[in-house]
Amino acid sequence: MKRIDWNGLGDADRCRALARPEKRADEQLRERVRNIVNDVRARGWRALSEIALELDGQEPRRVEVRTMASAARRRLDPQQVDAVEFAAAQIRKFHRASVPSDFSLETAPGLTVTKTWRPIDRVGLYVPGGKTPLFSSLLMLAIPARAAGVRQIVTVTPPRTGGGLDDLVALAADLAGIDEVWTVGGAQAIAALAFGAGAIPAVDKICGPGNGWVAEAKRLVTSMPGGPAIDLPAGPSELLVIADESSDARLVAADLLSQAEHDPDAQVLLVTPSFAVADTVDAEIAERVRTLPRREIVEASLGSCRVILVADLHEAIEVANLYAPEHLSLAVEPAQALVAKIRNAGAVFAGPHAAETFGDYLAGSSHVLPTDGAARAWSGISVYTFLKAMSVQAVTREGAESLSQRAALLARMESLEAHALAADARLELMA
């Protein structure tokens, strides 16, 4: 792992030290995604079927979940079923408890303003597929959407050889209250969710992680007239670990490797004031990586791994806030004192016992988090992702009488006479 002395760098070099791997979406990919999206938008189901047949080898299919989930329960090991059910219960518990309450305040005599929450009508969920379908992402998306009260959830996932759904995906869908899943993936699936195609309806918001094609398609459709909202910028995974002499190098190495195995473009960083910790973690990684089934992916990811040497933990926190990681592990004792100083992170794992893996599967909060520095302004998936807030203003006759004159004056100060007259009209009715 490349080592960097933070205090030996100028501002420009510090920016380069914290740079993500080169952008995953090159111009050719962007152009291809643009063509796919425009084609599906223009020709609907016909275009979607043609593209899916070309890229996935089969047309989109609607799969009924209940039958497949029943068969999956029979085939899966009971311990597997129990683990997925436990994870679903933890996620459901957390998100149900985090549904916000309405709030009302009388801001002036006779004027009450209420902030009230409403679920989004129709949401599209993208569940990554491939060699290892991410059933956990389905739980992390659908359960908070259900907790928020979304009326219709449209779920898509890339098709698998032989059709149907992976057993674990079918089980997760059933536990999350999903009745049907469309087997279509990639940019074409995002386009179908955005603008509708055949029986796949257009949705109001698209949520879920994916590869570069999916990320680029989400970025594109939300910028188009009439396009949907999207959840957040979600690209390849990243983890920054802060460690010092109190840290267990074995745990630090294990966490770094757990993120590196996601994707060759995943990025892991170690920030520490200790040369000894850096040496020990480096040795642990070298020892462990040889035995991993996804060794090639891990080694590709480790190619962009960095160890940043800092003066102390205070400076380590500064580095973390600048980087704004998707995942931040505080592998130090005590960790809670540092949490208050963290401003920018998708999820924080406080203390050596808080494995990032717990957050990926069963802690309760969603693992769909902002990447590429978006944690400076974005939050991870939660019930708030699937809600919108409205303000409601209720005014009594007495309130209108006391407010109208000032409101009219304020409007005329901005040369908006019709606004002023609307306020005056309330006074005239009371005369």
pLDDT tops 70 at residue 365: yes
The architecture that CATH gives domain 27-98+119-231 is 3-Layer(aba) Sandwich (3.40)
262, 326, 356, 367: which is the annotated catalytic residue? 326
User: How does residue 96 score in pLDDT terms, banded at 50, 70 and 90?
Assistant: very high
Asked whether 270 and 253 are in contact (CB, 8 A), the reply is: no
Write down the pLDDT at residue 304: 87
Nearest C-alpha neighbor of 246 from the set 212, 274, 270:
274
User: How does residue 239 score in pLDDT terms, banded at 50, 70 and 90?
Assistant: very high
Could you tell me what percent of the chain has a pLDDT over 90?
92
User: How does residue 162 score in pLDDT terms, banded at 50, 70 and 90?
Assistant: confident
The HSE-up count of residue 334 (CA atoms within 13 Å, CB side) is 4
- Mean per-residue pLDDT for 392-404? 96
Asked whether 2 and 305 are in contact (CB, 8 A), the reply is: yes
Q: Do domains 27-98+119-231 and 235-379 have the same CATH topology?
A: yes
Write down the pLDDT at residue 234: 79
pLDDT tops 90 at residue 263: no
Task: Please state which of the ranges 3-7, 46-50, 234-238, 284-288 shows the lowest mean pLDDT.
Answer: 234-238
Distance CA 256, CA 274 (A): 17
Write down the pLDDT at residue 140: 98
Write down the pLDDT at residue 23: 61
- Mean per-residue pLDDT for 143-151? 98
pLDDT tops 80 at residue 130: no
- Mean per-residue pLDDT for 33-57? 97
- Mean per-residue pLDDT for 198-202? 98
Asked whether 344 and 317 are in contact (CB, 8 A), the reply is: no
pLDDT in tens, 332-354: 999 999 999 999 999 999 999 99
Write down the pLDDT at residue 236: 83
The per-residue pLDDT of the chain, averaged, comes to 95
Provide the CATH number for the domain formed by 235-379 in this structure: 3.40.50.1980
pLDDT in tens, 6-38: 999 999 999 999 998 776 568 999 999 999 999
For residues 234 and 58, the model is more confident at 58
Write down the pLDDT at residue 60: 97
Write down the pLDDT at residue 59: 95
**326 carries an active-site annotation:** yes
262, 327, 356, 367: which is the annotated catalytic residue? 327
Distance CA 286, CA 284 (A): 5
Write down the pLDDT at residue 20: 87
Write down the pLDDT at residue 151: 96
pLDDT tops 90 at residue 212: no
Write down the pLDDT at residue 126: 97
Amino acid at 117: W
What are the extents of the domains in the chain?
27-98+119-231, 235-379, 396-430
Write down the pLDDT at residue 21: 78
Write down the pLDDT at residue 25: 60
Beta bridge partners of 394: 112
Q: What is the pTM of this model?
A: 0.93
Question: Residue 207: CB partners within 8 Å, gap ≥ 6?
Answer: 123, 124, 125, 126, 141, 145, 230, 231, 368, 381, 385, 386
Asked whether 327 and 356 are in contact (CB, 8 A), the reply is: yes
- Mean per-residue pLDDT for 135-144? 98
